[in-house]
């Protein structure tokens, strides 16, 4: 990654962390939902930068889109709590556990290969070589990622598509119910 890309990635990660903390500690439900939608959209952009557009699309559709709409429809049917405090008090026990977990996970980051490294274990593995050599002849699909998702992992992808479809239908059902109430 270039310095500009690293700077952009660091800014995006800072935004994601800020949005997550805001969603967790905001007391106003509408503000928390907006912060959560921002978090989800930021995570979708992180997936794009990590070259996982299929995961990014799912996160944007389900996380930032469908979930936000369902949350907003939920608060339309509920009463907003009163109060002067904008943020919830920090509970130090769970915050310490979450911080420790993040610290442990961050220790693994140094062992990850650089993005696009041609000498990484994934790029040099026999499995990768097999799919790169055989994806087109076996599936007639030019894009190797699409061939793997659609042909080799078809049932898994069908399950993911069913989840997205179910979420979309749930939103339509809730919207239809809202219209007639």
* Domain layout of the chain by residue ranges: 1-89, 118-181
Give me 30's structure tokens. 């509408």
pLDDT at 181: 42
Centroid of chain to Cα 79: 29
Measured between alpha carbons, how far is 124 from 126 in angstroms, rounded to an integer? 7
Report the greatest alpha carbon distance in the chain. 65
Beta bridge mates, 26? 87
pTM above 0.75, yes or no: no
Sorted by sequence, the CB contacts under 8 Å of residue 165 that are 6+ apart come out as none
Torsion angles phi and psi, residue 26, rounded to 5? -70, 140
Task: From 71, 84, 69, 90, select the one nearest 21 (Cα to Cα).
Answer: 90
- The 10s digit of each residue's pLDDT in 115-163 is 778 888 888 889 888 988 998 899 888 888 888 877 887 777 778 778 8
Instruction: Read off the tokens for 144.
Output: 């190797």
**pLDDT bucket at 13, cuts 50 / 70 / 90:** very high
Query: What is the CATH architecture assignment of 1-89?
Result: Up-down Bundle (1.20)
- Cα 46 to Cα 11, 68, 145, 180, 181: the distances in Å are 11, 19, 19, 39, 39
Q: Cα 116 vs. chain centroid, distance in angstroms?
A: 21
**Each residue's pLDDT tens digit, 65-105:** 888 888 887 777 766 556 666 566 777 888 889 899 999 99
Q: Which two tokens stand for residue 137?
A: 């002849």
Please enumerate, as own/partner, the contacts of 114-117 that have beta carbons within 8 Å and a separation of 24 or more: 114/1, 115/1, 115/50, 115/51, 116/51
């Amino acid at each position: 990654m270039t310095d500009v890309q690293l700077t952009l990635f660091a800014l995006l990660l800072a935004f994601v962390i800020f949005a997550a903390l805001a969603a967790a500690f905001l007391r106003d439900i509408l503000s928390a939902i907006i912060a959560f939608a921002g978090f989800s959209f930021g995570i979708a952009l992180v997936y794009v930068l990590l070259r996982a557009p299929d995961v990014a699309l799912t996160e944007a559709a389900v996380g930032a889109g469908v979930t936000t709409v369902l949350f907003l429809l939920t608060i339309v049917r509920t009463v907003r709590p009163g109060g002067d405090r904008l943020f919830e008090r920090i509970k130090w026990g769970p915050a310490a556990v979450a911080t420790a977990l993040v610290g442990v996970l961050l220790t693994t980051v140094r062992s990850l290969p650089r993005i696009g490294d041609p000498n990484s274990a994934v790029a040099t593995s026999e499995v990768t070589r097999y799919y790169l050599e055989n994806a087109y002849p076996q599936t007639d699909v030019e894009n190797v990622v699409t061939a793997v998702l659609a042909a080799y992992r078809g049932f898994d992808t069908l399950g993911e598509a069913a989840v997205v479809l179910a979420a979309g239908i749930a939103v339509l059902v809730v919207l239809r119910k809202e219209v007639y109430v």
